[in-house]
Amino acid sequence: MSLLSVDVSQNGGIKNVDSSSSVFEMEEFDFSRLPDRPRNLNMERQRSFDERSLAEIPMGLSPHPPSRADNFNRVLDHLDGIYSPGRKSGFNTPRSHFGYEPHPMTAEAWETLRRSLVYFRGRPVGTIAALDNSEEKLNYDQVFVRDFVPSALAFLMNGEPEIVKNFLLKTLRLQSWEKKIDRFQLGEGVMPASFKVLHDPVRNTETLIADFGESAIGRVAPVDSGFWWIILLRAYTKSTGDLSLAEMPECQKGMRLILSLCLSEGFDTFPTLLCADGCCMIDRRMGVYGYPIEIQALFFMALRCALVLLKQDTQGKEFIERIIKRLHALSYHMRSYFWLDLKQLNDIYRYKTEEYSHTAVNKFNVMPDSLPEWVFDFMPMHGGYFIGNVGPSKMDFRWFCLGNCIAILSSLATPEQATAIMDLIESRWEELVGDMPLKVCYPAIENHEWRIVTGCDPKNTRWSYHNGGSWPVLLWLLTAACIKTGRPQIARRAIELAEARLSKDGWPEYYDGKLGRYIGKQARRYQTWSISGYLVAKMMLEDPSHLGMVAHEEDKQLKPVLKRSSSWTV
Ligand code: GLC
């Protein structure tokens, strides 16, 4: 019944898929219709990269019957294999590979994205955080590592990998700088939060300045930057088939330095990574210190990326062994203790406290009284999510978007958990999406709790900015998660909402209010990642094979923990 018309060109690239076919119909796609085709060099290299990833994480037999998402993923894997690297449109706006009429907003978005390019000695090396001259610049005139990720993906998807390569190499050079805050030296592997090009008109020279946290508000080093760097290196490698960048000794060393920071032995009793508040996208005090989900999910994903990017030389092998051990422990810990669904919530509600010894059920001594009231209403019958933070006597029950989407993409979430996360997003659409996708976290903290947790931060008042604000950039992560779980219609709904307002409002950084109806109090306009996030979401929906750049298949070796409730079964 396939309505899908796939035309495989000489180099194996997909030319056109009938736009009338839904992505679901891809499940029916007949693989035998793909002709044996001559492959170009890039294609061969990409294949060997994929095979390497499988060889290094041997896959056992699946304990689960294939789900709707599994079938969909098989199609994606296939599409992934025939993805043609390095497609270049030659125009300022990309052509539509799948015969869709591009939305008028995409042309504007590409134009603005290109205007945000930052050049260093004649080469593009990144994109500026925001092109808004009406507000005080602060550091929005810098290239942020995390902000550049959706821009990079947009360029990769459009067959323009050069800027991504330049960015990866430039930030690698910055990593080797000596980093000091007052008299204290930061770890060698720390990657910058952001950097900027300084022009000296007199001497006619250009130099880079970077911020590793020493200038940032709150003076926190960005733990996420290094992880995003590794994730982007894999996306570049997968998209171009060019292994030579990742194999450069400098890149291998850069990766090892990042990994050394987070795989070092210490006093930890958990495999999760202990962090200061504000060390990630939420870069202000917001009660996300300890073991925040965003960092744990990015940590997991970066480890999986590093596993396939590291060379099997003496130093590489040592790291590979450490990574495999950590991945096992981390996935077990996250899937067991961060996961919350109706059954688990009920268990916590009935927890006994003060249990001693290894037989304890309530291992972290969480007080049932600390369960917030909202969580009982928020939890749907079917659905679940990874909660915000777990530590000694601490569970932060807030829902965070980025961590949950990355958990799906990296397969930190089991297929059942991934389905449950999407179920929850559907059931709690009003709360999490409302009028503008997507809440950075839910719910907002207010009153006394806001005073204590944020230190009375006027930027993070309830339902604003990091405190329950809505961030259009998160659209690309939602879309990727939707495609991975075989539910693209959810992404379409969200994109339609964004299309109703984003361009008219001047691409704000974030929206405020319970429903995300108001342009954020201090939101910048022409915020680059709001623009590139939209483009990436559109391009991914149009050509789901792009998902391969940012998604990982389930690793059957990382055994799921026992099922907890019916919402886990599809
Ligand atoms: C804000 C965001 C941060 C982002 C930066 C630049 O500080 O919280 O995540 O990287 O702006 O856009």
For the residues of 78-140, what is the DSSP string, one character each? HHHHT--TT----SSSPPPTTSPPPPHHHHHHHHHHHHTEEEETTEEEEE-SB---SS--TTT
Return the pLDDT at 173.
96
Q: Sorting pLDDT into bands at 50, 70 and 90, what band is 237?
A: very high
Which atom of ligand 1 lies at the shortest distance from residue 142's CA? 6
The percent helix, strand, coil of the chain (3-state, each to 5) is 45, 10, 45
Average pLDDT rounded to a whole number, residues 442-466: 98
List pLDDT tens digits, range 331-386. 999 999 999 999 999 999 999 999 989 999 999 999 999 999 999 999 999 999 99
Mean pLDDT, to the nearest integer, of 287-298?
Answer: 98
At 489 the pLDDT is 98
The residue whose CB lies within 8 Å of the most ligand 1 atoms, and thus the one to mutate among 136, 137, 146, 298, is 146
Q: For residues 76 and 390, what is the distance between their CA atoms, to the nearest angstrom?
A: 34
Rounded distance from Cα 126 to ligand 1 centre (Å): 15
Q: Are 193 and 171 in contact (CB under 8 A)?
A: no
pLDDT at residue 42 tops 80: no
pLDDT at 35: 31
Closest ligand 1 atom to the C-alpha of 524?
12
Atom of ligand 1 nearest to the CA of 146: 10
* Residue 113 Cα to ligand 1 middle (Å): 17
Phi, psi for 211 (deg, rounded to 5): -120, 115
Q: What is the per-residue pLDDT across 54-79, written as a single tens digit (0 to 9) for each?
A: 334 333 223 333 444 444 444 344 33
Cα(284) to ligand 1 centroid in Å equals: 9
- Residue 87 has a pLDDT of 41
User: Which pLDDT score is estimated for 137?
Assistant: 80
Instruction: Report yes or no: 254 and 169 within 8 Å, Cβ to Cβ.
Output: no
Q: Could you tell me if residue 471 is left (phi over 0), alpha (psi between -120 and 50 degrees) or otherwise beta?
A: beta
Q: Could you tell me what percent of the chain has a pLDDT over 70? A: 80
Which of 139, 140, 147 gets mutated to test ligand 1 (max ligand atoms within 8 A of its CB)? 147
For residue 406, is it left (φ>0), alpha (ψ between -120 and 50) or beta? alpha
Residues 149-171 pLDDT 10s: 999 999 999 999 999 999 999 99
Mean pLDDT of 418-440: 98
Q: Across residues 235-259, what is the average pLDDT? A: 98
**Ligand 1 shell residues, CB under 6 Å:** 129, 144, 146-147, 281, 283
**pLDDT for 146:** 98
Q: Residue 507 above 80 pLDDT? A: yes
Range with lowest mean pLDDT among 9-13, 53-57, 320-324, 542-546: 9-13
State percent of the chain over pLDDT 90. 75
Q: What CA–CA distance (Å, rounded) separates 83 from 104? A: 26
Distance separating alpha carbons of residues 143 and 163, to the nearest angstrom: 13
With 0-12 CB in 10 A as exposed, 13-18 as middle and 19+ as buried, what is 55?
exposed
What DSSP assignment string belongs to 200-211? ETTTTEEEEEEE
- Return the residue whose CA atom lies nearest to atom 4 of ligand 1: 281
